[in-house]
Structure 1
């Protein structure tokens, strides 16, 4: 046997690489539903990727909690709304 794993192991590794490359987009709900479903299926089937996903989720939650909630000044919000209405 060679040093490479089986083709099934290689395919599974490719799936892991693809899932983890898009985990941030998945966390931020930036994927179309079909792609999000594919990642969900992979995460449920792959313990290693699920562990990485849980770590990324925790980090994302910590970042969100550490950022103060800010709102644009009323005058700026009004200008933006006016710009949006005039561009349509």
Structure 2
């Protein structure tokens, strides 16, 4: 992912864009804390160039997800993992 051209950009600092773009994938996959996601969301709404980059990354992620078959773990494996998680807590 390339950084936006800041020559005609409306922000005072490129740091906001660098921070936002460095977290785009985590934001797309709902892996950020809500407070961090809110900061990214606000930046994307205010910054046209970053929003363009976000839309491109979003489209690519959607295309990749469509190409991957959906599968889940066998119920026996899920039960074993659940049992291991309980035994480690105790």
TM bucket by the smaller chain?
0.7 to 0.9
Structure with more contact order per residue of length (Cα contacts < 8 Å, sep ≥ 6): 2
Unpaired runs of at least 5, structure 2: 1-6
Q: Answer with 1 or 2: which has the greater Rg.
A: 1
With the length of structure 2 as denominator, give the TM-score of the two structures: 0.77
Shift of 1:9: 5.2
> How many pairs does the alignment contain?
81
With the length of structure 1 as denominator, give the TM-score of the two structures: 0.79
Unpaired runs of at least 5, structure 1: none
Find runs of 4+ consecutive structure 1 residues off by over 4 angstroms: none
Give the structure with the higher percent helix.
1
CA RMSD of aligned residues (A): 1.8
